[in-house]
Chains A and B, each alone.
Chain A
């Protein structure tokens, strides 16, 4: 690692904990841990003569585990997954139990976040809401990123007819209004799982990621090292996966992490249209929408589910930053 500093900036102690932070030899404990886990095959720090040269991806994973930003975000995400699977662990109440007499009441003993408009416990609903919201947001994001970046990379890499056909199809999909698409595609579905909703989000979401990925690939494929690798006889798939993807992935990660939050909100929009998850599903998005009507009277109704959504998005943005840094060859 040549330097940990921003070349335009003077040395700054903050850099040590910044996402791009100086992880060269800074975190001995983490490094030691990693070596223990790796076992005796012992990977000398920068691929000594005895070690098999590591691929870029395993290099990235190696870096990642030493990044405190990654560790914090992973802990948050693990916690979220924990309450997605087992919400009963941290609340004993029923998220559907309503006592209208307590409508919009503030916090009280046993109800730390107060009550919503229907007199349901906000804390319990935030806990139970994680299941629908996190699973829809995560699955939709993964689907959109995979489909979008694959199609976008093909269009950008091969150009010509590939590009013309894929890009024009994406133009048409861009034009479909979400509400129209939701009413048409989702109102015929009777399946009560999250998959129709996720599938719909992927169907309408991929063109944006595809455009971004295409643009990045078009830039990256002009790079000298790509041209050099090609001259050395590297095949298309090798070029794309080993040389272009790592250099093109950053914008896709950025868009994906923000989109995660917007998909969680979009689920609520679809629910309001009667085409989202089946009632009585509890989700942050639905509670945020309900709370928006009451913002003047009971801001606490908005605060907690929106806070939970913020925390989730924050965790994934941090994760995205860490992954991006780990993949950046220029940091190496």
Chain B
């Protein structure tokens, strides 16, 4: 979800007539004193854990906080961090025990109250936290956060949270959800110190957490200096002295600064430089799968797309898109053609299944044309693909997708891109069900679970079901999966649900997005986690 909000270089990135010649590269000599100088984007919301729903703010929270669980940067598995154990006998009541000895960087111990108070704050309607819905599985959420517009909270705390001792609390859910413990690595579930409540403004100016770094200075809109917290007792302390985050409004400027030796790490190689990056950086360029999938969604509420034959039409469109060619020519292999609705970072055990959508997601222009004709042709004779013009560089791939469809249909005006000025306008049109045609959709996972790729987007009435897809069989299989007691059984049931999507094609899977990063010769051991965020604490500085 957060993918869409990433601040990318907009319209006009890139330049440099002179040099296909690689810039000298390895000559970055300036001593950075053991500190990583990294690019950053201005967080869009105040840095509260439950109010941060985009990558740039999340990046900082992940350095400054540790939650009950942490996702393994390599395998994406949810591993206990502050939690000693999370157990349940019925997939609905969970008993959470904390490891002793964790403290916030101001010395305050991390206790059961640190979590309970935080979660109560996060869920409460009055605090208007954008991530509040993550607490909706917890019993009593409907009291502290009624759904209807204009309603008032009838309780101030979540009744499903019960403190047992300083190191133990229980969570009662309002439905069975076997994968619940694995969601607890998400930043919305981080604990909060007392200082957060007692002096909120001061905390916001300089957040205090329990992670391997502490914030030494923060200038909004400009940058943040994080230093290694020497008191950190967790298993993953920082191996460098700190991280200087510098706000760039254009990723291409950050890239140029990296070339000039003024920056050590960019975690978003601009689209305009993808053709040059190997020449510029050699093996200091990372291109790894991340938990992001891009799709084309349809307004299934619109009569154009709700007819009986419309599924066939959508399958035909899917088969008209030459994914391998577009990922190669437009994205320079920083995307991988998608053949299911999840992401490779889940791994086979986590539910990723290559080829789950096989024929229907493969390029076959002749069959595509046939299917579309059988379905009565494109509605109204032509379609548009809407995208927001202000963030991301969507124009190029939308044009390429349209050209692919046009070539398959032999009509150069069958499909055209339809930019919408602002993300706000784009989202309003989707939320208010005003879309009449295909539109771009992107999903960046909140946590590495197959549930997170399917339920929020395709379950009837779910929060990100932008297509307004509704299929009783899909819903039934998802409910079944959530009630399964073993994760393996849950994954199998989810995959069964996913097969329903192949038939209905509520959204066309396009490609899995990789994370990309480039770094200077000062650094080593740079990796990206499954969220496409650099694993800062493991970066070594020469």
Contacts and interface: CB of A to CB of B under 8 A. Distances in A.
Interface in A274-290: 274-275, 279-280, 289-290
A97 interface: yes
Contact of A296 (B17, B395, B399, B412): B17
A98 interface: yes
Contact of A98 (B11, B407, B417, B425): B407
B25 to A, nearest CB: 15
Interface stretch (B56-64, B272-280, B469-477): B272-280
A89 to B, nearest CB: 20
Contacts of B19: 296
A289 B10 CA distance: 11
A273 B421 contact: yes
B272 A294 contact: yes
A292 B272 CA distance: 9
Contacts of A294: 14, 272, 275
B422 interface: yes
Contacts of B16: 295-296
Nearest to A274: B419
Given A280-B416, A294-B272, A98 B393 contact: no
A33 to B, nearest CB: 46
B413 interface: yes
A103 B329 contact: yes
A183 B421 contact: yes
A295 B15 contact: yes
Interface in A109-128: 117-119
Contacts of B406: 96, 98
Given A290-B395, A296-B19, 10 more contacts: A97-B412, A98-B399, A99-B407, A100-B322, A272-B395, A279-B419, A292-B11, A294-B14, A295-B15, A296-B17
B5 interface: no
Interface in A44-102: 94, 96-101
B20 interface: yes
A195 to B, nearest CB: 19
B325 interface: yes
B12 A101 contact: no
Q: Which has the most chain A C-beta neighbours within 10 Å: B273, B326, B412?
A: B412
A159 interface: no
Interface string B389-411: 11001011001100110110000
A190 interface: no
Given A100-B403, A272-B389, A274-B421, A289 B325 contact: no
24 contacts: A96-B406, A98-B400, A98-B403, A100-B325, A118-B399, A271-B419, A273-B389, A279-B416, A280-B413, A280-B416, A280-B417, A289-B11, A290-B395, A292-B13, A292-B14, A292-B15, A293-B14, A293-B272, A295-B14, A295-B17, A296-B14, A296-B275, A296-B276, A297-B276
A299 interface: yes
Nearest to A102: B329
A118 B398 CA distance: 11
Contact of A293 (B329, B393, B412): B393
Interface residues of A, number: 31
Contacts of A279: 384, 416-419
A292 B425 CA distance: 26
B420 interface: yes
A31 B232 CA distance: 92
A31 to B, nearest CB: 47
B323 to A, nearest CB: 11
A41 B288 CA distance: 83
B273 A96 contact: no
B533 interface: no
A117 B273 CA distance: 14
Interface size class of B (residues with CB under 8 A): 35 or more
A100 B272 contact: no
Interface in B242-275: 271-273, 275
A293 B20 contact: no
A187 interface: yes
Nearest to B404: A100
B20 A296 contact: yes
A274 B413 contact: no
Contact of B389 (A99, A100, A274, A290): A274
A294 B252 CA distance: 12
Nearest to B20: A296
Interface in B312-342: 322, 325-326, 329-330
Contacts of B416: 279-280
Contacts of A297: 20, 275-276
Contacts of A299: 17
Nearest to B417: A279
Given A96-B413, A294-B14, A296-B14, A272 B322 contact: no
A182 B389 CA distance: 13
A118 B403 contact: yes
> A-B pairs with the 4 shortest C-beta distances?
A274-B419, A98-B403, A96-B412, A293-B272
A60 to B, nearest CB: 42
A315 B321 CA distance: 43
Contacts of A94: 412
A272 B17 contact: no
Nearest to B18: A296
A151 to B, nearest CB: 29
Interface string B409-453: 000110011111110010000000000000000000000000000
Interface in A238-275: 269, 271-275
A318 to B, nearest CB: 28
Q: Which has the most chain A C-beta neighbours within 10 Å: B395, B413, B417?
A: B395
Interface string B268-305: 00011101100000000000000000000000000000
B11 to A, nearest CB: 5
Contacts of A272: 11, 389, 395, 419
Given A292-B12, A295-B17, A101 B421 contact: no
Contacts of A274: 389, 418-421
A100 B271 contact: no
Contact of B271 (A101, A118, A271, A293): A293
A319 B28 CA distance: 52
Nearest to A295: B15
A299 B19 CA distance: 11
A28 B16 CA distance: 50
A99 B425 CA distance: 32
A253 to B, nearest CB: 30
B400 A100 contact: yes
Contacts of B396: 117-118, 290, 293
